[in-house]
């Protein structure tokens, strides 16, 4: 399954469950919301064109607003962009950022999770990507105690190894 298929499948599954009639809606519910002139959007939000979403940019990442009903969007799973104009849009609210990761970033997230298989007391929360640095956040199992640490690397992101991540996580979690 490629990045686009994985993200769209996750969106379908999460929104299907969150919109069933037995669910109680609150401000953290994953949901689609109409975009108005004053709707606050941030780069990376998932948007959907309402008129005809059946093309590669129909559900995509928001980059910037270029007019009232005009957006610059990026295709999910690629770097292709499109100036999507004269359209009504929906934005997906409360969709976890970790499920939006594509390419090498998604692979790094999976490596971090795999590195934690043998480290019994800690669960993965998130990873933030900075140039030549990963900020990894973990949670102690059965508690809300979280901590973050930086993992510096001096190679392309695709060359960061599971072994180096596991060693760093073990060293950081020993002191906690």
Look at residues 115, 98, 97 and name the one whose alpha carbon lies nearest to residue 169: 115
Q: What is the pLDDT of residues 95-150, one digit of tens each?
A: 999 999 999 999 999 999 999 998 889 999 999 999 999 999 999 999 999 999 99
Q: What is the pLDDT of residues 144-155, one digit of tens each?
A: 999 999 999 999
- The Cα 104–Cα 159 span in angstroms is 9
Is pTM beyond 0.75? Reply is yes
């Amino acid at each position: 399954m490629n990045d686009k298929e994985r993200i769209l499948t996750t969106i379908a599954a999460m929104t299907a469950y969150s919109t069933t009639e037995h669910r109680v809606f609150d401000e953290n519910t994953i949901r689609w919301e109409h975009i108005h002139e004053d709707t606050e959007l941030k780069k990376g939000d998932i948007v959907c064109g309402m008129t005809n979403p059946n093309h590669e940019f129909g559900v995509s990442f928001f980059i910037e607003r270029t007019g009232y009903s005009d957006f610059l969007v990026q295709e999910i799973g690629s770097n292709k962009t499109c100036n999507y104009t004269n359209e009504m849009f929906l934005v997906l609210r409360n969709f976890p950022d970790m499920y939006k990761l594509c390419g090498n970033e998604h692979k790094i997230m999976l490596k971090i999770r795999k590195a934690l298989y043998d480290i019994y007391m800690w669960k993965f929360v998130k990873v933030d990507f900075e140039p030549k640095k990963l900020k990894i956040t973990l949670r102690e199992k059965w508690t809300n105690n979280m901590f973050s640490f930086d993992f510096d690397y001096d190679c392309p992101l695709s060359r960061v190894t599971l072994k180096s991540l596991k060693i760093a996580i073990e060293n950081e979690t020993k002191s906690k």
